[in-house]
Amino acid sequence: MSEPVRNRHEFVFLFDVENGNPNGDPDAGNMPRLDPETSYGLVTDVCLKRKIRNYVELAKGNADPFEIYVREKAVLGTVQGRAHAAVAKEGGKKADLIKEARDWMCAHFYDVRTFGAVMSLKENNCGQVRGPVQLNFARSIEPIVPLEVSITRMAVATEKEAESQSGDNRTMGRKHIVPYALYRAEGFVSAHLAAQTGFSEDDLALLWEALASMFDHDHSAARGKMSARKLVVFKHDSALGNAPAQKLFDLVGVARATDPDAPARAFADYAVTVNKADVPGGVTLIEKL
């Protein structure tokens, strides 16, 4: 393992969706999430984290020390048959044992090191790991208009359905799509919390890789075409940071390149500007995508 991350980072991540549903809202019958007041589309932080976890699991094959702790059933790989190095010592104070268990989890599980995890204990819930990486909700650049697409199915599932259809056997289904939207997410990496969980430079490189490639491994009938479009990383010279986060985020601007009255339907309809001239001292701007 390489050294823990010593520099504070912020990042701006742009991704788009074409004829798909980036993140369904369980409250609205799986329609794309909308901010009801402004009609901007939303993608939750946990949705993006899930994709990062899935990518790391694919890329690293769930091998030590990049195991993924909160997993999806779909890729239940080779869990059995791997014995772990046991570091447990019986006896000792309970607090020491908890700390040992926490460190062990951080050492083996990428998502615990990165995002943290809550481990409950019998008496008091304090086996918590706070991860260095923090993501906010991704929001679309412009208001979105979700479409509801009705589709037909030429077969039915049960005899009962066939009877009610009187032999026609055709049923209707629905899909919700966003014709096109560009979303912007922002994130933070705390160097101090990285030191606490052992989140290393290799882990950070893997995080950037995951953000850049995760949509390529997440295709499904619901998603349509989703792509990572831009990843701008701000690396501070120090652990504490050298500039306020919001000032750095403002350096990445997204505006319409084409007539703003016509709906955007492609990434080319947007112009992304990265204002390198105004990057404050002590901060390095890195364009990963």
Partner 1 sequence: MAFGVGLMVRGDYACFTRPEMKSERVSYDVMTPSAARGILEAVYWKPEITWVVDRIHVLSPIRFTTIRRNELGGKMPYGNVRSAMKGGSPPAVFIEEDRQQRAALVLRDVAYVIDAHFDVKGGDANTAKHKEMFERRARKGQCFHQPYLGCREFPAAFECLDGDAPQTGLPPADRDKDLGFMLHDIDFARDMTPRFFRARLQNGILTVPPFAEATA
In the complex, least distance from residue 246 CB atom to partner 1, rounded to whole angstroms: 4
How far is the CA of 95 from the CAs of 35, 109, 162, in angstroms? 44, 21, 62
In the complex, least distance from residue 12 CB atom to partner 1, rounded to whole angstroms: 13
Please give, one letter per residue, the 3-state secondary structure of 242-269. Answer: CCCHHHHHCCEEEEECCCCCCCCCCHHH
Two tokens at 22?
């980036």
Please report, as residue ranges, which positions from 78 to 107 form the binding site for partner 1 (by CB under 8 A): 79-80, 82-84, 86-88, 97-98, 100-101, 104-105
How far is the C-alpha of 139 from the C-alpha of 170, rounded, in Å? 38
Tell me: does residue 246 bind partner 1 (CB under 8 A). Answer: yes
Tell me: does residue 125 bind partner 1 (CB under 8 A). Answer: yes
Question: Using the rule CB under 8 A, which residue among 1, 61, 92, 130 binds partner 1?
Answer: 130
Question: Using the rule CB under 8 A, which residue among 122, 151, 160, 172 binds partner 1?
Answer: 122
Phi first, then psi: give them for residue 203, nearest 5 degrees.
-65, -40
- Which helix (H) or strand (E) segment holds residue 227: the answer is strand 225-236
Contact 240, 8 (CB under 8 A): yes
Residue ranges in contact with partner 1 by CB under 8 A? 25-27, 33, 35-37, 42, 44-46, 50, 67, 69-73, 76, 79-80, 82-84, 86-88, 97-98, 100-101, 104-105, 108, 117-122, 124-125, 127, 130, 132, 134-137, 139, 186, 188, 190, 192-193, 238, 240-247
